[in-house]
Chains A and B, each alone.
Chain A
Amino acid sequence: MSASSATHAVARAAPPVRTGRVFVAFVARDLRVVFRKQPTAFLTRVLVEPLTRIFVFSYVLPSVSGRGQQPGGSSFSTVLAPGMLATSMLFAGVLGVAMPMIGELTYPKTVQDRLLTPAPVWAVGAARAVSGAVQALVSVLLVLPIVMFVHAPGQAPDIHVANWPLLAVVVLFGSVLSGVIGLWLGTAIQPAHVSALFGLVMMPAMMLGCVYYPWASLAAIPWLHMLVLLNPVMYLSEGLRAVLTPGAAHLPLWAVLLALVGGSAVVGALSLRSFRRAAMD
């Protein structure tokens, strides 16, 4: 018997490769890179920005401008807390997907080692969005203690969860939304335009995402009140307000859920199409 026939017998008898199994391997690869091989990079990306922002807004400003004055005061930290969690999640998910994706799609297209697997092409993109969602989820857990405990004396945010399942739904779909937005941006943007991604997309979205004030207060500026309805950060900020600080003004929950779930589905479909186009010649 020749070695050749043995090789072929092995190859032909191999059981079909299940997509689910390959999908899990794709996600496992990403999570190993992010959490086991480059944990410092992940922690820096996720922690430093919220920590300094919360330190300035919840500790420095209230301390220098006298207690009780805006933007200090526990009412402000209560407004700020969900907004900070929302921006952290979106930052972690979007950047955690978009940056490596842009790199892997540029020559030499290193994503090819996954495109050549027996999984369908969409699975490669979808797995990357899922790993972005996991990063968003982890970031919310890491930033939560910061918003709870970093503040001027006596100005802790008033956070209490009335409905845990609802919190889980908002956080889950917020994470998925940030993952698919990351995939969409990472596949639609030319590498040369990466700096524009920060300047023109991320910064305005974060600043105008109803992070520092509730959406209802924007009624004073009607055009902005309407414009920010296009901003996903706003829905996540308001959604987290609804479930973490129910005492504060917030968007109705049905609107939040519609935007997070619907947005995940629509952007998810767009991002997979965009991934296919970017990945295949």
Chain B
Amino acid sequence: MSEAVIAATGLRKTYRTRQGEREAVRSVTLQVRSGEFFGLLGPNGAGKSTTIGMLTTLVQPTGGSAHIAGFDVVRQSREVRRRISLVHQSNAVDRELSVRENLEFRGRYWGMGSRGARARADALLEQFGLGDRRDALFYQLSGGQLRRMLIARALVHHPEVLFLDEPTVGIDPHSRAHLWDVLRELHGRGQTILMTTHNLDEAERFCRRAAIIDAGQVLACDTVGALVARAGGRVTVSATYDGPVDLAALPAGSSAELRRADVREATVHVVTEKPEGLLGELIALGSATGRQLLDMTTSRPSLENAFLELTGRTYRA
């Protein structure tokens, strides 16, 4: 196993406000290895952004410690900043500069000469399909283009760790698909990425490991597969008939899961650990009420279930 590129232990942040102290992050402990695509998941206000703020040296931790590539985020913050990039959800682009200048100055801020920085900027803009937008200002870009530009800008100085805070929030599905391609390629090239996301589908798609945080604490940190397994391996089977059905008509000896099913008009939702064998029972239910089974779908266990199991609430709540 390669060494941890991101290592946080008991990371804590308390803000002092007029109403007293507010604990944004109570205790975050996590490790991310080189080349990993790691997900940081949690509802709004869970402490994701504050955690990223501390890991990227923008927020001073109140307690605990964190290291990036072996450097302390507080005492060696400049060494840390040399090796990381953050794509922030607030689109913190330099509004006075063009797309190309944003990348060019990014290079110069990391010590590149102006000619080298311009060449690097042009190469990245080409690679990200923004070559013809190089002279545009930020408000002339579409949401998707802006997000691509921010990721391109983040890569100018070859960061060891890329932090993405909600990379696909607020952009249309087409741009999101394009951005996913970009992320897949980056990961394929071995880029270490830590991503926060509201989109659990996105997390399942990319992250091999993830931490679920809520109320400033890590509730679980594991492979996505293991997190999903925590949901108990239950699946939801949905059956649709050609008209309303009634569970009262169930023949004797039907399974307990089916008896507890949720019936909405012509559709029956059954939560079960053993979906096999259910098809026969569902057909039997149909014939008992004079209906025909038209369709049946099985939802596999997902991160959404795991999230619900761990936090007791749905993800978007």
Interface contact A32-B101, CB-CB below 8 Å: yes
- Determine whether B134 belongs to the interface, using a CB cutoff of 8 Å to chain A: no
Instruction: Give me 7 other A-B pairs in contact (C-beta within 8 A), A3-B190, A22-B109, A29-B97 excluded.
Output: A8-B34, A17-B82, A33-B96, A107-B90, A113-B94, A118-B110, A120-B78
Shortest distance between the CB of B110 and any CB in chain A (Å)? 6
Ordered by A's residue number, 10 sampled pairs between the chains whose C-beta atoms are within 8 Å are A11-B158, A22-B108, A22-B111, A29-B108, A109-B90, A110-B95, A112-B92, A118-B81, A119-B109, A280-B59
A8-B160, A119-B109, A281-B53 are contacts. A113–B92 as well, Cβ < 8 Å? yes
Residues of chain A contacted by B86 (CB below 8 angstroms): 112, 116
The interface residues of chain B lying within 8 Å CB-to-CB of A26 are 109
Q: Is A269 an interface residue (CB 8 A)?
A: no
> Whole-angstrom distance between the alpha carbons of A8 and B33 in the complex?
13
How near does chain B come to A190, taking the closest CB pair, in angstroms? 15
Task: Please name the residue on chain A nearest to B82 by beta carbon.
Answer: A118
Bound-complex Cα distance A110 to B91 (A): 8
Output the least CB separation between A95 and chain B (Å): 16
A160 interfacial contact with B, CB 8 Å: no
A281 touches B190 (CB 8 A): no
Q: Which single residue of chain B is at the shortest CB-CB distance from A24?
A: B108
- Contact (Cβ within 8 A) A7 B95: no
Nearest CB on B from A21, distance (A): 5
| CB-based nearest B residue for A279 | B58
A14 and B107 alpha carbons, distance in the complex (Å): 13
Check B105 for interface membership: any CB of A closer than 8 A.
Answer: yes
A97-124: contact bitstring with B at CB < 8 Å (1 yes, 0 no)?
A: 0001000000111101111111110000
Of chain B, the residue at the smallest CB distance from A100 is B96
Give the distance in Å from the alpha carbon of A280 to the alpha carbon of B15 in the complex: 12
Across-interface contacts of B91 in A (CB, < 8 A): 108
Report the contact-size class of chain A (Cβ under 8 Å from the partner): 35 or more
Select one of B58, B88, B111 contacting A118, CB under 8 A: B111
Residues of chain B contacted by A53 (CB below 8 angstroms): none
Chain A residues with CB under 8 Å of chain B are 2-5, 7-8, 10-12, 14-18, 21-22, 25-26, 28-29, 32-33, 37-38, 100, 107-110, 112-120, 280-281
Taking CB atoms, residues of chain A closer than 8 Å to B102 are: 113
CB-defined contacts of B160 to chain A, threshold 8 Å: 7-8, 11-12
B189 at the binding interface (Cβ < 8 Å) = yes
CB neighbours (8 Å) of A22 from chain B are 108-111
A10 to B156 Cα, complex, angstroms: 12
Mark interface residues in B230-255 (1 if CB within 8 Å of A CB, else 0): 00000000000000000000000000
Residues of chain A contacted by B60 (CB below 8 angstroms):
280-281
Q: Which one, B35, B53, B105, contacts A25 given CB within 8 A?
A: B105
Smallest CB–CB gap between A18 and chain B, Å? Answer: 7
Shortest C-beta distance, A99 to chain B (Å), equals 12
Q: Does B67 contact A (CB under 8 A)?
A: no
B159 CB within 8 Å of chain A: yes
Q: Whose C-beta in chain B lies nearest to the C-beta of A38?
A: B96
Interface of B, secondary structure class, is loop
> Do residues A11 and B111 form an inter-chain contact, with CB atoms below 8 A?
no
Q: A10-B158, A109-B92, A115-B58 are in contact. Are A4 and B189 (CB under 8 A)?
A: yes
Is B191 close to A, CB under 8 A? yes
Which residue of the partner chain B has the closest CB to A21?
B111
Q: Contact check: which of A5, A32, A113 meets B93 at CB < 8 Å? A: A113
Which of A119, A280, A281 is close to B78, meaning CB atoms less than 8 Å apart? A119
Residues on the A chain within 8 Å of B291, using CB: none
Chain A residues with CB below 8 A from B82, complex form: 14, 16-17, 118
Q: Given A11-B158, A113-B94, check contact A2 B190 (CB 8 Å).
A: yes
Confirm or deny: B83 has a beta carbon within 8 angstroms of a beta carbon on chain A. yes
Interface centre among B58, B60, B101 (most CB of A within 10 A): B58
In Å, the complex CA distance between A33 and B79 comes to: 29
Interface centre among B93, B97, B111, B159 (most CB of A within 10 A): B111
Residues of A within 8 A of B78 (CB): 17, 118-120
Given the interface pairs A33-B96, A38-B96, the reply to whether A11 lies near B83 with Cβ below 8 Å is yes
Smallest Cβ distance from B314 to chain A, in angstroms?
28
Minimal beta-carbon separation of B161 from chain A (angstroms) = 10
Whether A116 contacts B190 in the complex (CB less than 8 A), given A33-B96, A37-B96, A38-B96, comes out as no
Q: Say whether, besides A28-B108, A281-B53, A110 and B159 are in contact (CB < 8 Å).
A: no
Contacts of B35 in A (CB 8 A): 4
B56 lies within 8 A of chain A by Cβ: yes
| Complex: A33 Cα to B101 Cα, angstroms | 10
